[in-house]
Amino acid sequence: MVHIVGVPDCRIVLITGERQVGKSTALQDTVKGLRSAGLHVSGLLTRRTGPHDLEVLELHTETSYLLTDPFTSAHTSVTRNFAMNADALLRSSKALETSFPTDVFVLDEIGPLELVHRQGWVGAFELLRQEVYKLAYLIVRPELLGAAVMELPGSGFGVIRVTLANRNIVADRLLHVALSGKARAPGSMGSAKSSLAGSAKSSLAGSAKSSLADSAKSSLADSAKSSLADSAKSHEEGVV
């Protein structure tokens, strides 16, 4: 069974799960289904081509290239297992800017480079705030889930946890989410975010508004992580 924890009709879905559990494969399969359904899909997909090698695919240009340099023992980059190529990171970051407007934006992945070191594809969060998309799928590691949530625009997000048990049906669930909201126009607001903005405008201003948004996101992040933990526990006990 696949659960999406968070706000109903959310516009941003965070895909999480342990390393090499099948998150990227599920997203790749989702992209194929979305395109077959006639939706425009843009963004970046990363593929591991070796123990220390990464390749990125720009979905809207169908251009792929290496993200990494040859790895050596003298490697001193902030990424532990990869020697990121600065030119490739810059090129792919610029590709993010040309990914919009779109029906569905995907990004694999947002990791420590962005959320801890403020490098790489961290600019994706500002692009998401412009809201010229119908739906966005972002892959995030479990330990960085809270940090990613705090970067999101508003509070209209959901979280889906990929496991060994459900990974073969995650793509179908993500495809269903996209197609069920197909009529939603780019730039529209999710119900939770509209409610949050309306409340903030009527009762708060300046820093108070920011505080309310942060509080709402923190609460939703804690709720999502708690629900995911409960789901994992239930799965281990044979309930889910």
CA–CA separation, 80 vs 97, rounded Å?
27
State whether residue 51 is helix, strand or coil.
coil
Local confidence pLDDT in tens for the 240 residues of the chain = 566 776 667 899 999 999 999 999 999 999 999 999 999 999 999 999 998 899 999 999 999 999 999 987 666 667 778 899 999 999 999 999 999 999 999 999 999 999 999 999 999 999 999 999 999 999 999 999 999 999 998 768 999 999 999 999 999 999 999 998 763 444 333 333 333 333 333 332 343 334 434 554 555 555 555 555 554 444 443 322
- Token pair in block for residue 102: 């779109």
Q: Is residue 206 packed enough to be buried (19+ CB in 10 Å), middle (13-18) or exposed (0-12)? A: exposed
Please state whether the peptide bond connecting residue 142 to the residue before it is cis, i.e. omega within 30 degrees of 0. Answer: no
Count of beta carbons in the 10 Å neighbourhood of residue 224: 24
Task: Report cis status (omega within 30 of 0) of the bond before 109.
Answer: yes
Query: All domains of the chain, ordered by start, with CATH?
Result: 4-236 (3.40.50.300)
Assess contact for 9 and 155: CB atoms under 8 A. no
